[in-house]
Amino acid sequence: FFTRSCEFGAGDQAVWNTVHVGSSGVPKSHCGRTKTIPGSPMISIDSVPIVREKPFISVDSSGKYTLNVPEVRINSTGTSWASGSEKLDTRDFSKIYVTKPSDTADTINQMLFMGLDVVVSPGIYNLTDSLKVQKEDQVILGLGMATLVSSTGKPCIEVSDVDGVTIAGLMLGAGTVKSPSLLKWGTGNFKGDRANPGFIHDVFVRVGGTNDVNVNEVSTELMIDLQNGNIIGDNLWLWRADHDQSGQVYGGANPCSTGLNVDGDDVIMYGLFVEHTLKNLVTWNGERGRTYFYQSELPYDATTAYGTSGYASYVVNEDVKDHDAWGVGVYSYFRDYDV
């Protein structure tokens, strides 16, 4: 259980892995149930080092719509809006493109190239090319679990070497042509800006689940590949499906090696969930990485070779000198083989 930037009246119970970051009214960290402390272990971190809340749409009494992009907050506690003084970058919808489910990647990319923000309407978009984000501070905001599917083996979204980009509210899906990743961020040559980082809010990635593996498999090498620095993930669930339309998935079908790869420095994750990939679930090569709450389930259909190959859920490169993680929970259900 994970909270960030919340305000509670009171609370003292927990189940398994509970982490609070920058939330008020929560208990202090403790190691578990004692005579004086009820509940299971809990981690409470006083402040959020850096965050910007997810963009949102508002409508006024005249029917005018606005896209609101909250400000970046440093070392914050509690909500950004309760005081009524939250600073917002308000963007008129004359500068925003609202997609139609029939839109192609070319149509959406034309709007992104013009510098417009994009609101993705509910629907399933089978993309023949990546959506290319090349402008500083651009926003792609999905509504109603809008789903982008890679149809030709390209990432659903590619972000260039620019600051302040926000990708939010989307489902990304693997296609029948294997892709290198489904979200690729940067070239590896861009440090980013701590004062204006990139943000990934409420993005869910799945490899399989909607297909029948007996008819066609889907695959990707990586789900999310973060090459640049100063990127913040806020509630990411990366899932290789353990079941699809045909029932349970066996034998490494719908293959995906790794859920998250981080090569950039100063990357932060708030609420990271990665499940069932066939190699290391997370690989972290950048310096000063931080993860606040991690939930992971190893693949059900792993063979004995999974264990002997030395794969693990959360792998920090041995050359990394500075990395911290709080509330790391990994568990296994090796359904098909002795591992």
**Alpha-carbon distance 314 to 221, whole Å?**
17
The one-character DSSP state at 26 is -
Q: Which amino acid is at 18?
A: T
Tokens 């790794």 -> residue: 258
**Alpha-carbon distance 191 to 197, whole Å?**
10
Strand bridging mode 88-92 / 65-70? antiparallel
CA dihedral 163, 169, 174, 177 (to 10 degrees): -60
Ordered DSSP codes for 6-72:
-B-S------SSEEEES-BS-PPPBSS--SSS-SS-EEEES-EEEE-PPPEEEE-TT--EEEEEEPP
Q: 160: which residues sit within 8 A by CB, 6+ positions away?
A: 132, 133, 134, 186, 187
CB contact at 8 A, 14 and 32: no
Residue 194 DSSP SS3 = coil
**Alpha-carbon distance 167 to 120, whole Å?**
11
Backbone φ/ψ region at 82: left (φ over 0), alpha (ψ -120 to 50), beta: alpha
The residues pairing with 258 across neighbouring beta strands, listed in sequence order, are: 222
Tokens 């498999």 -> residue: 217
**Alpha-carbon distance 110 to 41, whole Å?**
50
Angle, vertex CA 205, rays to CA 330 and CA 58, nearest 5: 115
Active site residue 297: yes
Q: Which residue in 53, 287, 297, 318 is the catalytic one? A: 297
Catalytic residue positions, numbered: 297
